[in-house]
Structures are given as C-alpha cells and as structure tokens.
Amino acid sequence: MDKTQLTFNEFQDLARGCTTVPVYKRILADLLTPVAAWVHLSQKAEYAFLLESVEKGNQYSRYSYVGINPQKILMHNNGKTTITENGRTIDIDTPFLTLLRETQSQYNMTKLPGIPSFTGGLVGYLGYETIAWVENIPTHEKSELNVPDSVFMLFEDMIAFDHLKGSALVISNVNVDIDRDLKEQFDAAHLRVDVIGELLHSDLDYQTPVRVEQSKVSSNFNQATFESAVLKAKEHIVDGDIFQIVLSQRFERKTSVEPTTLYRALRTINPSPYMFHLKINDFDIIGASPELLVKVEDGIMEIRPIAGTR
C-alpha cells in the first residue's frame, strides 16, 4: 500500500544524505482532474505550469503535474540573463546554459519509492533562436514575437496526479538548511502542502464560453515565399548541406479566449501523451507533442525524435 505522507523521522533520516527532500501528502483525486486543479491554482498565479499526459482521448500515462509560484525564475531576454527571487531581479553574466547546470546541481533530490521521479525542479522552454548558443549558425536579428529567448522556473511546490491510483501527491520540497531546526523546516513544508490542498477544494470561478468570436488567420508566409523556401531547401539537400529540413510556418489570429479555454480545446481535439501549458506572467505557451524528445533517468539517456528512436 502506498504511503499517505512522509513522517518526520523519515524526513530526518533523508536529510542526512540529501540536500533536497520532498515532503508530501497523498489525497484522493478521483473527483479532481489536472485541468480542474490548474484552474483552481493558476487563476491568481503569475507563473505556473501544467504537464499533462492524455492519449487517444481516454487513455492516460501515469502522471500529470501542476505547479504554481516558482521560488526562482531564470530568464534570457534581449541578450541579458536575469534571476528573479523573492521579488528581486538581478542581472547575471553567466551564460544561460551554464546557469541552468549550476542551478540544477544545487538540488540533490531524494528519490522515494511509490512517488514519481519528478517531484519538483526547473520547468520552462528554450526558444528556436537559442540554437545559436551551441551551434555557430545565423539567427534572426529581431524578434517578431517579443518574448524571452528562454525562461525556466524553479518549482519547489507542486501536485503530481497518479492516474493509475486515482490519487494525487501534494509535494513541497525542503532545501535542507543545516543551520535551521529540521522540525521547523518539516512543519513549514507541511503547512505549504496543507495550503495547496485547501486551494484545490476552494470554490471554482470559471466559465466556459458558449460562443467564440471568429477572426482571420494569417501566416508569416504567402504562397510564393513558401514555394521559394521549398526550392531553397531542396538546393541545400542536393548540395549536401543538410539531409532533412522542416519549414516552420507560424499562424496567427487574435482572440479574447482565456488561455485555459484554449488548452482545453486543444486537449479535446488533439489529446497527446505530452501536453503542456506554461503561464509566464504576461504570456502563455500551450502545446501538445506525440512523443518524448529526450529523457535522462538514472544516468541513462533516451532520445525519441519524430523521425526515429534511439
């Protein structure tokens, strides 16, 4: 039988060997979905994430995740890297990828039996232009979308939905401070867990629109420029510069629909094993992917590009 929560004695033992320990409580979630939890928690949050596994409409991968209010935000925008923590933002000279590695290395997470391997950490994105950080290739000089090149949010508090067991784990990670009383740190984490649990059962103020206005869809290509790009791509293949290419086409339309409503529509018409909704202050990123790109667990790397699997 799965444990319902971590005891203080267990926490004390784990804190001796790890820098980060997940304090958790297991709650019944047969009447609570990840989307409902997202609506409850994200409405008043500036930063949040939902990672959901939905496949073939009614088949679920085992875990989905919801997190709000990150403890730290790493951002690269207009050539400048910043860290935001405790309401204060500072500029950093460290290259962004190095900063990610350094931040990740500070957290020696404890893996516990019966709970998912992901119990908190960095969630975010790398924009297309960040390829220039590792490959010497030209990129667009001006951003048309006016969003950061990359944002990663460090979440210490989150919820993991176990679709197999019909339960959810409310998790608060403790970054063990050897100079503070362990019981005090444990109790503070338990309090955060209880607060999140109460939010999940608060009144829900969310209305699904009955009608949605129609607006014109536009592309960053027209017929002539797209055909020209196809011919150019074929030339590069013949010349041996590349062996595979995807012409990325961006479609735009104006809408007043809430991002959560848009996400719900996407998961209905295109249910996928890797769905995501990132809320990043004044913009949202919503998407669905049929496959995992890359995964590292227990020192083993797995890569699954769409064109094949290795």
Q: How far apart are CA 251 and CA 15, in angstroms?
A: 50
Identify the pLDDT of residue 124: 97
Q: For residue 84, how many other CB atoms are within 10 A of its CB?
A: 17
Identify the pLDDT of residue 307: 62
2 falls in which pLDDT band (50, 70, 90)? low
Identify the pLDDT of residue 141: 75
**Predicted structure pTM score:** 0.89
Give residue for tokens 């933002």. Answer: 89
Q: How far apart are CA 235 and CA 242, in angstroms?
A: 9
pLDDT per position as a tens digit, 260-295: 999 999 999 998 889 999 999 999 999 998 888 888
3-state DSSP call for residue 174?
Answer: strand
258 burial class (0-12, 13-18, 19+ CB within 10 angstroms)?
A: middle
Identify the pLDDT of residue 309: 47
pLDDT per position as a tens digit, 30-70: 889 999 999 999 988 999 999 998 865 444 578 999 999 89
Identify the pLDDT of residue 210: 65
Two structure tokens written together for 86: 């405790």
Domain boundaries, the chain: 8-213+255-303, 219-253
Identify the pLDDT of residue 58: 45
Two structure tokens written together for 260: 């959560």
DSSP per position, 45-77: -SEEEEEE--BTTTB--SEEEEEES-SEEEEEE
pLDDT per position as a tens digit, 59-109: 457 899 999 989 999 999 988 999 999 989 999 999 999 999 999 988 878
pLDDT per position as a tens digit, 207-234: 777 676 788 999 999 999 999 999 999 9
Q: How far apart are CA 97 and CA 101, in angstroms?
A: 6
In the predicted structure, residue 112 carries a pLDDT above the cut 70: yes
According to CATH, what is the number of the domain 8-213+255-303? Answer: 3.60.120.10
111 falls in which pLDDT band (50, 70, 90)? confident
pLDDT per position as a tens digit, 134-145: 998 888 777 788
Identify the pLDDT of residue 57: 42
Identify the pLDDT of residue 199: 87
Note whether 294 and 274 are within 8 A (CB). no
Crossing angle between the packed helical segments 34-42 and 259-269, to the nearest 10 degrees:
170
